[in-house]
Amino acid sequence: MSVQRKKRDGSYHCHFRDYNGKQRAPSFGKGRTGKRKATEFDKQVKACKRMGLPLPDPKNPEATSVVEQQPSVASGQVLSPKRVHVATGPRESLYLDELAQKWINSLRAEGKGDSWLPYWVRILQDHILPELCTSEINALNQDDILAVMLPLTEGKRQSTRNRYMSYLKIMINFGVKHGYCSKNPLQHWQKAKEAPRHPEVTLDDVDAIYQHAAPHVQWALEVMSYTGARPGPSELFAMTWSNIDWSQRMLSYYASKVRKWVRIPLNDDFFMELAEKHELAKTPYIIEYNGKPVKSIKKAFANAVRRAGIEKRVCPYDIRHLFATNALNKGGDLKALSAFLSHSSTKMTADQYYMNMRGEMERMAQLLEGPAKRLAKAEQ
């Protein structure tokens, strides 16, 4: 249950579920008056549910004026949300939206999910919860969830399908762990194998994008090209000037994906660029825009790609891939590259990028011999 303001028209709504498990969201108008009415109605609904009274009428909330009283602990009664005035014992499990709120609150309390949680909350509110919150979690099965998720993810990449389903599975596992439900309907679901994506972007493409990009995007491209950092709020845009050891010419940053600190040496040219930028910096962050930290360059990057006339599918993360392949093609050490990329192992780097080492592959190709060549050499 909560009071929310619709961006479309500015009206305030109170979202709650009635005793039949149906989601309702009556409107109370705009402005301070609408917010006050919605907030008061929200309190009335919560009080009625706690005391087992009929829910108030949104059109006439004053008709059910409730003075909330603390329930008697000694009574031991637990009121069922699907019935009124009948104590039938506790429910078998929470509803999905109730669990979602508890999970979200837990993540926020732990300081997790800042980068992806707001997006996932919108997906839950707009698409998933309206379809799946009418039954308790213990009553759901995998087919129920797939009936909602398959149309939602139609046309999306396999990585997106896997991510949505993984979030749901993790959320319900949280419920099982804390006793909010006894089983996870997705316990047997496994991620489908994702086809590896081979970026088509070239160094010439990056140069063209750079020439058409805004100054802060140009600087972000420069930093990525020398560090290989992941272009997101937890790595690239979290770098601060205090992360630089000026005397040792080293940069340290925390790679949140692998939960470890990365310490890399700075290229001489890049070090000079950093020193110049540091003199002009207005914030503690290495990448800034108009005196403020940057959290994303996706939109500005896409605009630069469009202005450069590049029709390929390109995203900021492709710069990281290009950083790796370019380093290997120039003879860079695989283990050193793995450290730059903050990979968990050198094997992971080799599996992903060794096929792009043109020099090594070409050298290998020249070492091969066929029967005709061997016979010709033997006759000589």
User: Does 380 fall in a domain?
Assistant: no
pLDDT tens-digit readout, 2-26? 788 887 788 988 888 877 777 888 9
User: Does 369 fall in a domain?
Assistant: no
What pLDDT score was predicted for residue 43?
82
User: Does 78 fall in a domain?
Assistant: no
SS3 at position 196: coil
Question: What CATH number should be reported for the domain holding residue 102?
Answer: 1.10.150
200-225 average pLDDT score: 94
| Residue 169 and residue 241 share a domain | no
| Residue 339 and residue 242 share a domain | yes
pTM: 0.60
Count of structural domains, the chain: 3
Domain final residue, candidates 24, 49, 68: 68
Domain that holds residue 315: 203-364
What pLDDT score was predicted for residue 74?
29
Of 79, 92, 11, nearest to 50 (Cα)?
A: 79
User: Does 186 fall in a domain?
Assistant: no
| Residue 216 and residue 290 share a domain | yes
pLDDT higher than threshold 80 for residue 363: no
| Residue 346 and residue 246 share a domain | yes
Asked whether the CA dihedral 225, 226, 231, 237 is positive or negative, the reply is negative
| Residue 312 and residue 231 share a domain | yes
pLDDT tens-digit readout, 134-151? 778 998 999 999 999 999
What pLDDT score was predicted for residue 65?
47
| Residue 251 and residue 153 share a domain | no
| Residue 311 and residue 241 share a domain | yes
pLDDT higher than threshold 80 for residue 234: yes
User: Does 371 fall in a domain?
Assistant: no
pLDDT higher than threshold 70 for residue 82: no
Question: What CATH number should be reported for the domain holding residue 299?
Answer: 1.10.443.10
User: Does 224 fall in a domain?
Assistant: yes
251-274 average pLDDT score: 91
| Residue 348 and residue 218 share a domain | yes
Residue appearing with tokens 């990525």: 224
| Residue 153 and residue 31 share a domain | no
User: Does 84 fall in a domain?
Assistant: no
Which DSSP letter does residue 72 get? P
* Confidence grade of residue 360 (pLDDT, cut at 50, 70, 90): low
Of 77, 44, 84, nearest to 63 (Cα)?
A: 44
| Residue 334 and residue 224 share a domain | yes
User: Does 374 fall in a domain?
Assistant: no
Q: How many CB atoms lie within 10 A of CB 190?
A: 9
98, with CB counted inside 10 A (0-12, 13-18, 19+), is buried
* Confidence grade of residue 247 (pLDDT, cut at 50, 70, 90): very high
pLDDT higher than threshold 60 for residue 81: no
User: Do 7 and 17 contact (CB within 8 A), yes or no?
Assistant: no
What whole-number distance in Å separates Cα of residue 262 and Cα of residue 376?
Answer: 53
| Residue 209 and residue 173 share a domain | no
